[in-house]
Amino acid sequence: MTKIKTQTISPQNENILIRLKRVESQFGYIPEESITEVAQSLDLPVSEIYGVATFYSFLATKPLGRNVIWVCQNLPCHLKHAEITIDNLERTLGIKPGETTSDNKFSLELTNCIGACDYAPAMLINRDLHGNLTPNKISQILKLYK
């Protein structure tokens, strides 16, 4: 049973989201143990940490591949045939959105607008932007990631 204590942390510089992002950049996702650790160190209930971890799309609570591909699926990219990009990635990697390649190299995810509509169709790999995608360009880009 986690009793809530009134003591608060220095909220400006240490809070749940900052901690979770640190965990995420260390492990590539947020393991269960880390949620408990963050809860203990911030003196907050586990449920509250988990609530934050599952709210944000870029925080994963399951392991992902070494590189995560986020393909934009919104209208400006859709108008420029984002589905060809998605289809191409699916066939090249042999996985569907939400899955990870067996060599753990890539995870494929669909995401909402990444603010690169002038380079549509566009995607992020990890946090790098790739735009004006064509099947040829995609195969070149994928080679950049180990």
For binding to other proteins (CB under 8 A), which residues are involved? 1-4, 11-12, 15-21, 24, 32, 35-36, 44-59, 74-76, 78-79, 111-118, 120, 124, 127-129
Q: Long-range contacts: 54-60, Cβ < 8 Å, 24+?
A: 56/17, 57/111, 57/112, 58/24, 59/20, 59/21, 59/24, 59/30, 60/24, 60/28, 60/29, 60/30
Nearer to other proteins, 6 or 103 (CB): 6
Nearer to other proteins, 59 or 142 (CB): 59
Six-digit token string for 73: 């699926």
Q: How far is the CB of 137 from other proteins (least distance, A)?
A: 17
Q: How far is the CB of 71 from other proteins (least distance, A)?
A: 12
Nearer to other proteins, 129 or 144 (CB): 129
